[in-house]
Chains A and B, each alone.
Chain A
Amino acid sequence: MKKIDIACIIDDDPIFVFGVKKIMEIIGFCKNLMVFQNGEEALNNLKAIISNNEKLPDVILLDLNMPILDGWQFLDEFIKIPCEKKIIIYIVSSSVDPQDILKAKTYELVSDYIVKPVTVEKLKEVLRDLEQVG
């Protein structure tokens, strides 16, 4: 069982972040966790990590509805950055709009679309998927 080294949450909702952190702790989702409150903050920090040659996260849980740069805008910018490491991105949103779900499928980087709320079970499933990929 390959453990995830670094996971990253990009979400502006502190309650959600709190909850997800808890669930991750319960199931031992990852060793380290990065949290950014919006797309821009995430983009800037990840760029810095790449240029400093530091460790990038293995998996990103990305919210769609966020201030400044939303999830889509983040994705559009992030795919432009040349990066050797394969990062797996999950969109985690409240939206059940079929258009959002369809749009998510158009991004190669996005592996799946998780509808909030995130539960222990759902995160465990993600973990299983990642192990298979890894």
Chain B
Amino acid sequence: MKEEQKIVRGSLLGKEENYLKEELYDLIKKDDVLFEFLQESVLDGIWFSDLDIPDNVWMSPEYWTTFGYDPKEMPHKAEAWQNIVFEEDLKNIYANFVDHAKDPTCPYDQIVRFRHKLGHVVWIRCRGFMLRDDTGRPVKMLGAHTDITHIKEKEEELRLQTAFFEQVIEGTDLGTWQWNVQTGETIFNERWAEIIGCRLEELEPVSIDTMKNYAYKKDLEHSNKLLQNHFTGKTVVYECEARMLHKNGSVVWILDKGKVVSWDEDGNPEWMVGSRQEITESKKAYERNRTFIEQAPTAIAMFDRDMNYLAASQEWCKVFDIENQEIVGESHYKVLPTYANKWKVSHRKCLGGTVIKNEEERFKKSDGATQWLSWEFRPWLTDDDVVGGIIIHMSDITKIKREEELQSLLVVAEDQNKRLRNFAHIVSHNLKSHSGNFEMLLDLLVQETPEVKDNEIIRLFKTASENLTETISHLNEVVLMNTSVDQNLVNLKLCEIANKTIESVSAIATETEVTIINKIQPEVTVLGISAYLDSIFLNLITNGIKYSSKKRDSYVSLTTAIEEDFVVLIVEDNGLGINLKKHRAKLFGMYKTFHHNKDARGIGLFITKNQIEAMGGKIEVESEVDRGSAFKIYLKYEKN
């Protein structure tokens, strides 16, 4: 069926065509107007030459207007066109003429240049054929001109442009690529192959897989992401730095830039073209810088002009508490909004080429803590001496600041301490004089009037006076002790001092049936003050005796141990013990007592603690009610 229809239609068309053609041909023969219309509107000039008298040529008006001449002024002579034709092309014309004359099947068709009246070149396609007599001898020749100057000009333009781009690409050492996203078809230039150490022909047949085969696999994901960004219109130009595997096994860095140039009807990308530049050297230098910065022992970071991170040291992340976060490529303002926004103006100034410093700036961290930073913004220059971005150097001086504050506090404290000591000194001294007077006057009163001795008031007066004197003497002891004794420390044998004290309390010990056991190693020496050690031993041993338990055989034992730079003296008893839950905080306070013992004055442990601390030591206590107490006294250890 189909076959038939086609044939019918074809024959119909043929018929119509034939009849119109015939009619047109008829009309042309009958009516000159048609012919004139044709030669005017279709052609850029026709000529008719008499081969018997070669000098005679008829040339249509268009013939001359094409070259800028007034047809009326031009003679119908061969000389007229020969004057304006290019001499080089004339030879060609004669050669073709001869060929065509000999053999009518050899076409007379050539491109000839004429000089326009205004001087420029007019490119003409000149076709012709010879009219022959019965013998076949050529007698006349008809020719037609077509002006192809604009095509020639375009051609030339294109040639120049191509040459220009080739030159440019060669000059910049760029690889080029064209890629049909849909079919995978690719076209690479020689340089593209050269970057990975190959010749183009080695890689044939090429496709997008050729690129993938030589790509560094880890970077493909990244480049695919960037491609998608471009395809979806997020980026105007696809730009990607990636690694490729060189033929020799090394890795080369390339920078690809490209653009989709054609899209299919559904809006999918079709052809993409681009360039490829090898950037291994600069990338290596950059990687070196980056590693250098990353490993720097100070807080330092490098940014591009848009304040995106190029590199940052580990210390930088520490200062700003950036943990487990990839910040390279991210914006400073996004990574550290609170800090960076505060510095925005400075960043801009720095990008203008100024170095900006701040010796100390206070910040409030997200956790509320105060942070002191000292920083410097310094522009860095590219190879072309333009500012490529900023290098920020940061020091966290919080610690130093805190120490400074502490130092000034210390000065205040020292000053206050001094005044306090002075005050205590004066108070104790003056009080002492007055209490001394009391005592003296009471003494005198009793001397002069012995009968008042039994007066209740006078007796209480005397007790009060004695208590006052005692209190003042304690106060005095404490005041004296707090004056620095560090330089006055001497080497002392602990065991000897202990024995001396034990001897002096032996009478009370026997009376109260408390055994005192001295297990201090005889050779142990400490740095201390003899009088203080006497007092410490006396206090602790008598405490042990005073607060012994009547329920069991009581003992007070003395042992020592070495702990680093200290000798630890342990005074242990199995006495009444102290409720530490209740009393630990005030155990070593002044005038604190914890038992209903009538001898307790509550000054012993206070003085003991102060004496120990004055000698650079410390005291600790462990105790359990009704089980006993153990005091650990840390004393400076003299090794030799």
Contacts and interface: CB of A to CB of B under 8 A. Distances in A.
A120 B443 contact: yes
Contact of A120 (B432, B447, B473, B480): B447
Residue from B437, B438, B440 with most neighbouring chain A CB atoms (10 Å): B440
A116 interface: yes
Contacts, number: 55
A16 B447 contact: no
Q: How large is the interface on B (under 10, 10 to 19, 20 to 34, 35 or more residues)?
A: 10 to 19
Interface in A73-129: 94-98, 116-120
Contact of A16 (B429, B437, B476, B480): B437
A16 B447 CA distance: 16
Given A15-B437, A96-B476, A117-B436, A22 B429 contact: no
B439 interface: yes
A13 B429 CA distance: 13
A94 B433 contact: yes
A96 B438 CA distance: 18
Contact of A22 (B436, B448, B473): B448
B429 A65 contact: yes
Interface string B427-446: 00110110111111101100
A5 B603 CA distance: 46
Contacts of B429: 65, 94-95
Nearest to B476: A96
A119 B476 contact: no
B447 A94 contact: no
Nearest to B479: A97
Interface residues of A, number: 19
Contacts of B443: 117, 119-120
Interface in B430-476: 430, 432-433, 435-441, 443-444, 447-448, 473, 476
A133 interface: no
A84 to B, nearest CB: 35
A16 to B, nearest CB: 6
A19 interface: yes
A13 B433 contact: yes
B447 A19 contact: no
A26 interface: yes
A30 interface: no
A23 interface: yes
Contacts of B432: 94-96, 116
A98 B480 contact: yes
Contact of A19 (B430, B440, B476, B480): B440
Given A22-B448, A94-B433, 9 more contacts: A15-B441, A16-B440, A19-B444, A26-B444, A26-B448, A116-B437, A116-B440, A119-B443, A120-B447
13 contacts: A19-B444, A22-B444, A65-B433, A94-B433, A95-B432, A96-B476, A116-B432, A116-B436, A117-B435, A117-B439, A119-B440, A119-B443, A120-B443
Closest 4 CB pairs of A and B: A117-B436, A116-B436, A117-B440, A94-B432
